[in-house]
Structure 1
Amino acid sequence: MKQENVQPKKWEIFSPYFKQIEVPAKSILLQEGKVSKTMYFIEKGCLRTWVNNDGKEITTQFFFEGDSVSSIESFRTNRPSLYSIESLEPCVLQTISQKDFQDIIQNSPELKDNLVEHLFMRLIKSQQIFFSYLKNTPQQRYAELLEQHPEIIKRIPQHYIASYLGITSVSLSRIRNRR
């Protein structure tokens, strides 16, 4: 979720590659099954990733200010994305296209190193979430979520948190009431 921010001055020299957009809440930025052509860097707002499981949305991750989001495997391979990306709040996003990303990778060792480090941090966080889901109870995952991102309770609707934890909203209410 929260990534170490790259020093803003380093990013400024690459601003011609980025385009700022504003999107309202509940905007689908990438639909599951479509090829990802854009990477998003969140200046303001919150995004989530989710999968469709027989018509039921299952939230897989939340992203906040300072995070980058894309279906990186789709973005890099031109294969259909395994999940959707949606805004949960009105967002201000910096975007970069596949082509510009490739140009940076090929022509700018400094930004390439920064992006590679950023993507490694994202991979590490994704692995932590995956293994937490395998090893921990919903109560433990909720406690981790609160510890790492206390703002989630204020910013994320309860049904998305429940979906992320793999439980119903009623079960989440019970967990919250025990605290």
Structure 2
Amino acid sequence: MLFHFKDQFPQLKPFLDKYLEFLKRLEVPTKTVLLEEGKVSQNYIYIEKGCVRAFFNNNGEAKTVQFFFENEGLTSFESFINNSPSLLTIETIEPSVVYLLPKKYVTELVKELVNEPEFTQLILQVSAGRQMHYMNEFFSFIRDTPEQRYQNLLNNRPHIIQRVPQHYIASYLGVTTVHLSRIKRKIAKGKSHF
């Protein structure tokens, strides 16, 4: 679960190393579904190489919620914790190398770590960071135009623009691919005046 934090919290390494043997390594092509909407999440996913998107079905149209890249971990948390159907599908959008840690071992690892002060600090940091990210996304959808949201991606997360196919970016911004093309032309035209 927390293997990507080993460098940040070396004190946790002995605990994490015990669970390395239970990680299942997968080399998968583009469009591999790692978790299907409506199914219960049974694994924590760690991305060694590649890109993954989380999306949900809105009346037959896929709405992208988030992108994940190398050295990031994810699952459908509400499904994973509560054994409830996932609200999201998790799918690769590049050929990827991922590791899956089954829920049973995640639970055992957390039980071992729960009394470690560094672990509590780590969980609080990760939770606060994700909460802040999702709040910013939520506010941006209410406050900003699609053009402003695209400009924010360009400024703050250019790797998304460079690696993610345009139709997924359009879905993420809540616009059509045609509208996204217009936005890109407008921004490019604005830059050419300087």
Q: TM-score, normalised by structure 2?
A: 0.82
Task: Establish whether residue 137 from structure 1 lines up as the match of residue 152 from structure 2.
Answer: no
Range with bigger deviation, 8-17 or 34-43: 8-17
* Structure 1 segment 97-108 matched on structure 2, within 5 A: 97-108=102-113
Distance between the aligned counterparts of 1:92 and 1:17, measured in 2?
18
1:159 aligns with one of 161, 167, 177: 167
Find the counterpart in structure 2 of residue 25 from structure 1.
30
Identity %: 42
4+ long deviations beyond 6 Å: none
How far off its partner does 1:7 sit?
4.1
Q: How far apart are the structure 1 equivalents of 2:185 and 2:53?
A: 25
Count of residue pairs the alignment pairs up? 175
Of 100, 123, 127, the residue aligned with 2:131 is 123
Amino acid at match of 1:15: D
| TM-score normalised according to structure 1 size | 0.89
Q: CA RMSD in A?
A: 1.8
Larger Rg: 2
Choose between structure 1 and 2: higher helix proportion: 2
Partner SS state of residue 34, structure 1? coil
Q: Is the 8 A contact 2:153 2:161 kept in 1?
A: no
The structure 2 residue matched to 1:177, chosen from 167, 173, 185, is 185
Contact 2:6 2:13 in 1 (8 A): no
- Displacement after TM superposition at 1:41 (Å): 1.8
Alignment equivalent of 2:79, drawn from 74, 81, 87 = 74
Point out where structure 2 has 5 or more consecutive residues left out of the alignment: 188-194
Unaligned runs of 5+ in 1: none
Residue 89 of structure 1: SS of its match in structure 2? coil
Q: Aligned partners of 2:163 and 2:63: how far apart in 1?
A: 18
